[in-house]
């Protein structure tokens, strides 16, 4: 048996917690214009043209679509900002934030 087999481990293992991720989910409605949905997905969630189009059409056809995943505070801030921007123009657009 070598010395090293008996030595206590002095170094503490540092436990790094991965932040839990949350989905931002876009919900369909009958009133918000498609162009505005695409605009907000690009401006607030940094989607490019074709990603924004796919997410908007998916929500339009299926009722909802995951936009992206973020740490909780980022997901909530983005969803709130997007809802507020829509609401200022009188659109009922909604986003949910859900644990991944």
Assess 28 for contact with ligand TYC (CB under 6 A).
yes
Residues near ligand TYC (CB under 6 A), total: 13
* Residue 36 in tokens: 């505005």
User: Residue 48 CB: number of other CB atoms within 10 A?
Assistant: 9
The per-type count for the chain, helices as H runs and strands as E runs, is 3, 3
Assess 29 for contact with ligand TYC (CB under 6 A).
yes
Task: Pick the closer one to ligand TYC by CB: 29 or 76.
Answer: 29
Chosen residue from 21, 23, 27, 39 binding ligand TYC by CB under 6 A? 27
Task: Pick the closer one to ligand TYC by CB: 71 or 80.
Answer: 80
Residues 48-67 that bind ligand TYC (CB under 6 A): 56, 59-60
Assess 34 for contact with ligand TYC (CB under 6 A).
yes
CA dist 91 to 37, 49, 99, Å? 10, 21, 26
SS (H, E, C) 11-38: CCCCCCCCCCEEEEEEECCCCCCHHHHH
> Which residues would be at the binding site for ligand TYC (CB under 6 A)?
26-30, 32-34, 37, 56, 59-60, 93
């Amino acid at each position: 048996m070598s010395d090293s087999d008996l030595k206590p481990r002095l170094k503490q293992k540092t436990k790094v917690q991965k932040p839990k991720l949350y989905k931002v989910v876009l919900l369909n409605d009958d009133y918000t214009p498609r162009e505005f949905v695409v605009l907000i997905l690009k401006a607030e969630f940094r989607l490019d043209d074709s990603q924004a189009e796919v997410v908007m059409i998916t929500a339009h056809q299926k009722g909802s679509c995951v936009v992206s995943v973020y740490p909780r505070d980022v997901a909530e801030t983005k969803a709130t900002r997007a809802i507020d921007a829509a609401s200022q123009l009188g659109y009922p657009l909604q986003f949910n934030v859900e644990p991944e």
